[in-house]
Amino acid sequence: MTSWYQRKRTRELALVACFLAPALSIFFLYRLLPLGWNVLLSFQSWSPLKAATWIGVDHYEEMLLDDDVFWDALTNTLIFIGCSPIAIALALAIALLVNSDLRGAAIYRTIVFLSYPLMTVAVGIIWRWLYDERGGFFNYVMRSSGVIDQPVKFLQSFDWALPCVIAADFWQVLGFYMIILLTGLQSIPQHLYEAARVDGVPAGARFWRITLPLLRPSIFLCIVVGILNSFTSFDLVYVMTNGGPGHATELLITYIYKAGFGQSRFDYAAALTVVQFLLLVVLTMLANKLSGGNAGSLER
Amino acid sequence: MRRAPSWPRHAIMVVVSCLMLVPFYWVLKTSLTGENIYAYPPHIVPVDPHLFHYVDVWYLIPFPRYLLNSVIVTTMAICGNLLFNTVAGYALTKQFPGRRWVVLLFLSCMLIPFQATIIPAYLITSWLGVLNTYLGVALPLLSTIICIFIFKASFEAVPKSLIDAARVDGLSEWRIVVRIMLPLSKAAIATNVVLTFIWSWNAFLWPLIVIRTSEMQTLPLGLARFLSVMEDTTGALFAFVVMVLVPGLTIFLMAQKEFIRGLTSGATKG
Amino acid sequence: MQRRQLLKSTVAFSAATVLSAPAIAQTPKKISFLTWNLVHLEAQIKGWIQGFTSTRPGVEVEWIDKKGPEVPVYYATQLAAGTPPDIVDIQGALGLEYAAQGALVDLTPRFAAEAAIKGRYDPDYLSNWVFEGKSYMVPYYVSKTLLFWNKTRFKEADLDKPPANFDEILAAADKIKGGDKTGMLTLNFDWLYWPLMMMNGVDLLSKDLKTPTFKTAKAEEVVAKLAAATKSGAINSISWTGRWVEPNEAFATGNVGMLQAHAPAFFWIKGNGPWINGETLGAAQMPGDWATPNSHGLGISKGSKQPDLAWDFVKYLTDSDVAMQFSRVASVLTGNKAVDQAILAKFEKDDPLAFQVLKTQVEHTDKMCGNWRLGNDSRVKDAFWPEFQSAMLGRKDAKTALADAERRVLRELKRA
């Protein structure tokens, strides 16, 4: 009997292994192996035509002590992340509005979500055009309504460029946040609200006491998406400003790309990658802590 | 029970919807208008609307060929995702030693941005000998972590009794997946299809590097061509943007109901 | 005995087969050719390749084209994988960087062996890619900056000729500006704005390329003047933020007095500016005849398995016959003196305005600046440019910006 059970168990384990193998091998080949390679490379001096030599922490030293652009890129990345709660709050407001028994809610929902499936390169092109000095929508509206009399060069301005790129990113990702939050809202049991209403709890308090706490896992997911997004908005920045003017819209990811491919410093880019990865891990853990340790909702 | 009137909510949502649609309208307008698009002031409605820009695109680049390449790569990615994510998701519903580690591994892989892995990824692909092939483009896209978790969540929602009954009937594990789990996970499938579609259809940097010849280019690469510095094709650029976006939007609109349901059941409820 | 014989011959035979296998596999000699943004010439390039292979049985040429910003990415991955394209078309100083990294074949011995090839070229253009005394590239198509001026805008401002010095540029720009109009634009990528500095005697580096020489009172004055002009609208700020399309577009609207750009910009703005003709547009040298080159050259990758064949192909592409056809279809000059003379003669007859523009490209080739033969040009550029840009857009004053730029440039020079 035991041997039958063991056989069954072995077979099941073999099955699990077979089922996991393809996905694991893809992630091994295209995520873990490159990451390990990057870690190794970050301690070496290497270029495609030069044998690697061990140089210790030189790259990290240069990055932290001697590289203004790294700090610019880091600051911008953190601003990018820091702004995502605004988008999440907006998305939450929209989700609350379309979650009700509003007629046509499905249509509104579709419209808000419509920008998410778009190609990011195309989103960049569209928004660059909206910001254009002459043919662009914003300058046209503001000029013709008399708000301004000189066109604003949004993407050419040190002050405006980053907010403009962030706005484009908001536009694309808002619908995704909304869907995540909507799901969270729909999973909140109705009877809680009924009970609160019977007890005479005002609507505002119902939101703060019931909705928000129960939405925590969804909000956590939104924050993670926001963090990942600020690290992967490469296409958007690449098309809209390419990091400029100066380094006003430089993100870590665009700087990594520039260091690697623009300046052929793959070793240095690898060190930047490692720092970015560590930052991501720390931020995600922090978000998890703040939202009450619900990251497990992904894995239960 | 007293009800708040619904018109203020409608009013807000109409405004929000309009704001969300402005970029779509503006690019569509630009692609159709006959005026000089760089002249100020622009017109709100297209002047002398025409399709010349679209015709231009058609002649400037081998659009059907790019479309075909994109379709092939995306189809491969979707098939790979459905197969690999289903089985991986199913495996994760089982208890086995090291399960925690596998989950942790998946979660941490999510945090590695692809842009940062280009050179090693390229070397690996070259080592596998699939550069400049559809497989080479699709390979890193063949499985998606978030979709594995969506499948896992969806499978876990299937009543245990149903699975046990199937076991008693002598169905193999594989059959259980195909006959019982999948039919009950339509929403997860739709989500996976749409997400994979979005990601592989829009992939830019990876195909840029893996593809050598112009016959193998996908649509986003065609788009980048239009940003090319030497070409006087700015009107056509916006026409091309519209042409690239339409397939993605169509797929999304067709599958949106299931897709949204799948996302909601998988990603947050776990 | 017989058996042993058999065994021996079998071994010998199979060894021969194994050894000869690579030789068989190599019989069709294949080289690859990477071009930089020439996809619009697909038909012609395929034709030229056909012409090359038809006389060389068993030779195959694979053609790859990438857009400018993608070429470095592509080439880097290919180098890393050990499969670089045999022949590469590279723009500007990037060729020097690849040479410095050891990616390119030193062509000096080839030029020395074939004086006729070397003799084809304008020595000034040829020397664009001399790194540490060695030649790495054959000119493919060449260009340098010049000043386009909008005669209508000049007339309105009571001016009738292009400015002759730096202060005249600023004065003219100031007179032209107003409303939607601005006085002056320049392209800025690579070092294309450098003539503005050079005409004031400001150079980036010392002759030995070891010390920055731009932190002087004069340089501060020039930068401050340019920044003030930008602030007042005399210089259009797209000059410091746009890449290629935006500045050219702005000039093509007809609202800008001057554009400092290289010759290819002419065909672009002409296509976009219906107002452009011989009466309305002038082309002149910048004051002091300074210009920054932005040329394309053909190099051979060190990783090439067929360097001789690759050299043959380079010679074929740049010989008078093919170069002439190329020059015609692409409206470019090639640096090949005979070809350029012929094409200029043709333009003089068919398109006087284009002739006026292209003629500037073969004049004063000894006054090229912004071309420092650095092995780490892109890093020095990335160190200098953001500071310069900050000064132009009023984020930093001239003194601070130049001091910061010097600090950063020094750091890059030290690292190299």
Residue with the bigger pLDDT between A157 and B68: it is: B68
Query: Quick one: pLDDT band at residue C163, thresholds 50, 70, 90?
Result: very high
Does residue A206 share a domain with residue A65?
yes
* Interface contact B209-C74, CB threshold 8 A: yes
Average pLDDT, integer, range C105-131: 90
Task: Write down which chains contact chain A via at least 3 CB pairs under 8 A.
Answer: B, C
Q: Of the candidates C140, C137, C139, which has an alpha carbon nearest to the alpha carbon of residue C98? A: C137
Question: What domains appear along chain B, each with residue ranges and CATH number?
Answer: 49-268 (1.10.3720.10)
What does pLDDT average to over chain C? Answer: 88
Q: Flag whether pLDDT at C19 surpasses 70.
A: no
Average pLDDT, integer, range B198-209: 83
Does residue A82 share a domain with residue A31?
no
Does residue A143 share a domain with residue A91?
yes
C29-143+294-362 and C145-292+376-415: identical CATH topology: yes
**Nearest residue in B to C180, CA atom:** B40
Choose from C74, C77, C143, C296 for mutation: most chain B CBs within 10 A. C77
Tens of pLDDT, residue by residue over C206-254, are: 989 999 999 999 999 999 999 999 999 899 988 998 777 778 888 988 9
Average pLDDT, integer, range C96-101: 89
**Nearest residue in C to B41, CA atom:** C180
Does residue A10 share a domain with residue A62?
no
Name the B residues in 128-167 with CB < 8 Å from any C CB. 131
Does residue A70 share a domain with residue A19?
no
Question: According to the model, what pLDDT value does residue C22 have?
Answer: 43
Q: Which runs of consecutive H residues, i.e. helices, occur in chain B? A: 7-32, 52-60, 63-92, 99-109, 118-128, 134-138, 145-156, 160-168, 173-175, 186-202, 205-210, 219-226, 234-263
Cα separation, C253 vs A291, in Å, equals 54
Domain boundaries, chain C: 29-143+294-362, 145-292+376-415
Phi-psi region of C380 (alpha: psi -120 to 50; beta: other; left: phi over 0): alpha
Q: Flag whether pLDDT at C6 surpasses 90.
A: no
Domain assignment of residue A98, yes or no = yes
Does residue A239 share a domain with residue A147?
yes
**What is the dihedral angle through the alpha carbons of A92, A95, A101, A104, rounded to the nearest 10 degrees?**
150
Does residue A140 share a domain with residue A255?
yes
Rg from Cα positions in chain B: 23
ipTM of the complex: 0.80
Question: According to the model, what pLDDT value does residue A194 have?
Answer: 84
Report the CATH fold assignment for C145-292+376-415: D-Maltodextrin-Binding Protein; domain 2 (3.40.190)
Question: According to the model, what pLDDT value does residue C15 have?
Answer: 45
Tens of pLDDT, residue by residue over B226-248, are: 665 445 456 778 888 888 888 87
Report the CATH fold assignment for C29-143+294-362: D-Maltodextrin-Binding Protein; domain 2 (3.40.190)
- Taking one residue from A and the other from B, the number of pairs with CB-CB distance under 8 angstroms is 262
Tens of pLDDT, residue by residue over A209-249, are: 888 888 887 888 888 888 888 777 888 888 888 887 878 89
Does residue A76 share a domain with residue A26?
no
Residues of A whose CB is below 8 A from C253: 134
Cα separation, A41 vs A259, in Å, equals 14
8 Å CB contact between B72 and B254: no
- Taking one residue from B and the other from C, the number of pairs with CB-CB distance under 8 angstroms is 56
Q: For chain C, how far is it from start to end, CA to CA, in angstroms?
A: 68
Rg from Cα positions in chain C: 25
Does residue A68 share a domain with residue A29?
no
Say what angle helices B7-32 and A120-130 make with each other, to 10 degrees. 90
Name the B residues in 62-91 with CB < 8 Å from any A CB. 83-85, 87-88, 90-91
* Interface contact C73-A66, CB threshold 8 A: no
Cα separation, A192 vs C219, in Å, equals 72
Minimal C-alpha gap between C308 and chain A (Å): 21
- pTM value is 0.82
Question: According to the model, what pLDDT value does residue A291 have?
Answer: 67
Minimal C-alpha gap between A79 and chain C (Å): 20
* Interface contact B209-C264, CB threshold 8 A: no
Q: Of the candidates C98, C212, C84, C146, which has an alpha carbon nearest to the alpha carbon of residue C367? A: C146
pLDDT averaged over consecutive 10-residue blocks of chain A (300 residues)?
74 85 89 88 82 84 84 92 92 86 81 86 88 84 83 84 92 89 81 84 83 82 82 82 84 87 82 88 81 48
Question: According to the model, what pLDDT value does residue C40 have?
Answer: 80
User: Of the given ranges (A193-197, B79-83, C263-267), which has the lowest mean pLDDT?
Assistant: A193-197
Note if the bond before C85 is cis, omega within 30 degrees: no
Q: Flag whether pLDDT at C14 surpasses 60.
A: no
DSSP C1: -
Q: Can you give the CATH number for the domain in which A274 is found? A: 1.10.3720.10
* Interface contact B16-A171, CB threshold 8 A: no
Q: Which domain holds residue A290?
A: 57-298
User: Of the given ranges (B190-194, C85-89, C98-102, C122-126), which has the lowest mean pLDDT?
Assistant: B190-194
What does pLDDT average to over chain A? Answer: 84
Contacts 24+ apart (CB under 8 A), B176-179: B177/B86, B177/B87, B177/B90
Residue with the bigger pLDDT between A119 and C12: it is: A119
Minimal C-alpha gap between B252 and chain A (Å): 7
**Interface contact B38, partner A, CB < 8 A:** yes
Cα separation, C253 vs C302, in Å, equals 46
Phi-psi region of C37 (alpha: psi -120 to 50; beta: other; left: phi over 0): left
What does the block give as tokens for C124? Answer: 């000034």
Tens of pLDDT, residue by residue over A171-180, are: 999 988 998 8
Question: According to the model, what pLDDT value does residue C13 have?
Answer: 46
Q: Flag whether pLDDT at B270 surpasses 60.
A: no
Does residue A80 share a domain with residue A33?
no
Average pLDDT, integer, range C177-199: 92
Cα separation, C1 vs C29, in Å, equals 43
User: Of the given ranges (A290-299, B128-137, B210-219, C123-132), which has the lowest mean pLDDT?
Assistant: A290-299
Does residue A75 share a domain with residue A28?
no
Query: Quick one: pLDDT band at residue C403, thresholds 50, 70, 90?
Result: very high
Tens of pLDDT, residue by residue over C273-328, are: 889 999 999 999 999 999 999 999 999 999 899 999 999 999 999 988 999 999 99
Strands ordered across the beta sheet of C182-186: C182-186, C256-262, C145-150, C281-284
Domain assignment of residue A49, yes or no = no
Domain assignment of residue A200, yes or no = yes
Cα separation, C313 vs C63, in Å, equals 12
Domain assignment of residue A52, yes or no = no
Domain assignment of residue A50, yes or no = no
Cα separation, A217 vs C239, in Å, equals 48
Q: How many domains does chain A have?
A: 2
Residues of C whose CB is below 8 A from B230: 37, 40, 264, 268
Cα separation, C320 vs C182, in Å, equals 43
What DSSP string runs through B194-253?
HHHHHHHHH--HHHHHH--SGGG--HHHHHHHHT-TT---HHHHHHHHHHHHHHHHHHHH
**Nearest residue in B to C272, CA atom:** B232
Cα separation, C297 vs C315, in Å, equals 12
Residue with the bigger pLDDT between C323 and B113: it is: C323
